[in-house]
Structure 1
Amino acid sequence: MREETPKKPKPEKMIVGRRERVSFPELDLEEIEAKIDTGAYTSAIHCSDIHEETLPNGTNVISLDLLDPSHPKYNHRKLTFSDYTFRDIKSSNGEVQQRYVIRTKIKFFEEEIEAEFSLSDRSDMKYPVLIGRTLLRGRFIVDVSRKNVGKKTNIKQKKNLL
């Protein structure tokens, strides 16, 4: 007779709304509005001037501006990443596009999660950040009737501490 190993209790899933405020600590980007999109597989972040460069030491990097000058959170910092991939990503209109993908930390509620983000020009979209189902899976339940649940949760937690 085989002994069953006890199952680890599944962590409780948090409820998120259709839009949430998120931060990217490694990218120096705080409290930016993100659209929660269960139809999207990969999360995405708005970038402009995305291009590949070769550094003098021979290392390939991608260089980009996070957001664009018209966005209120634009910080005029050119970012470079040496750890990235180039993949086919299906856009919202069903078109397959090749995009750079990076891994970075996102702060969602009070939790920091390392996740993949495709880099794309989202200037024609309402929200600069899209949270896809890969990041959501196993962690969150989406309540489309709500928005900015994380902000309300943080305010409630701070009041309880006082």
Structure 2
Amino acid sequence: MKQSLDIIGATDIVDLPDLGWYDVPVRIDSGATTSAIHCSRVRLIKEGDKPQLCFYLDTKKGAPQQSFTVTDFKETIVRNSSGKEEKRYVIKTKITIFGKKIRTEFSLANRRKMRYPILLGRKLLKKRFLVDVSQKDLSAIKRSKASHRSHARHQP
């Protein structure tokens, strides 16, 4: 049986529970292979036998004001929006959208000049979502309606 796909708009609001970052505005980009997350002060720490990756998220968009350190990461070459190849680190973390927790990869990028701190690419979208660019924030609207219905049921 074929599973039905959720329709996602050009933008949405997601949670990154493992990183403690909630209500994060995202841009959907079916032209991008991987998803990207805005980070700063990304640095590789080589202590002992296992390298660690340190980074900070975008506090201006509501991210926790703390550094994150991961050991599960990889390095890859990505073609950026200008068409230039650049080396980026990629981490795995969970994203919550449409009430579903999905573990996916994010490349750590400098998106300081971009309106959205997170870009969701094809690897995340494939076999999960249909993109309707005339819509926006459908997951957030669905979550808001569900929260409102739940709250209304508990009223005396």
TM-score, normalized by length of structure 2?
0.92
Please name the residue that 2:70 is paired with: 81
Larger Rg: 1
Q: What do you get for the CA RMSD once the two structures are aligned?
A: 1.3
Percent of pairs with identical residues: 34
1: CA distance, partners of 2:4 / 2:62? 32
Please name the residue that 2:55 is paired with: 64
Deviation at 1:72, TM superposition (A): 3.8
Q: Secondary structure at the match of 1:151?
A: helix
**Residue-by-residue CA offset, 1:18-75 (whole Å, 9 max, x unaligned):** 00001101000001000000010000000000010023x33210111112x5x14142
Q: Secondary structure at the match of 2:77?
A: strand
Kindly indicate whether residue 109 of structure 2 is the aligned counterpart of residue 120 of structure 1. Answer: yes
Please name the residue that 1:140 is paired with: 129
2: CA distance, partners of 1:155 / 1:50? 34
Equivalent residue letter for 1:61:
Q
Q: Where in structure 2 are there 5+ consecutive unaligned residues?
A: none
Kindly indicate whether residue 20 of structure 2 is the aligned counterpart of residue 37 of structure 1. Answer: no
Q: Secondary structure at the match of 1:30?
A: strand
Please name the residue that 2:12 is paired with: 20
1: CA distance, partners of 2:85 / 2:10? 25
Moved over 6 A (4+): none
Equivalent residue letter for 1:156:
K
CA contact (8 A) 2:20 2:63 kept: no
Equivalent residue letter for 2:42:
I
Q: Where in structure 1 are there 5+ consecutive unaligned residues?
A: 1-8
User: How many matched pairs?
Assistant: 151
Q: Secondary structure at the match of 1:102?
A: strand
2: CA distance, partners of 1:74 / 1:112? 19
Deviation at 1:108, TM superposition (A): 0.8
Equivalent residue letter for 2:112:
S
Please name the residue that 1:157 is paired with: 146
Q: Secondary structure at the match of 1:155?
A: helix
Deviation at 1:135, TM superposition (A): 0.2
TM-score, normalized by length of structure 1?
0.88
Deviation at 1:154, TM superposition (A): 1.6
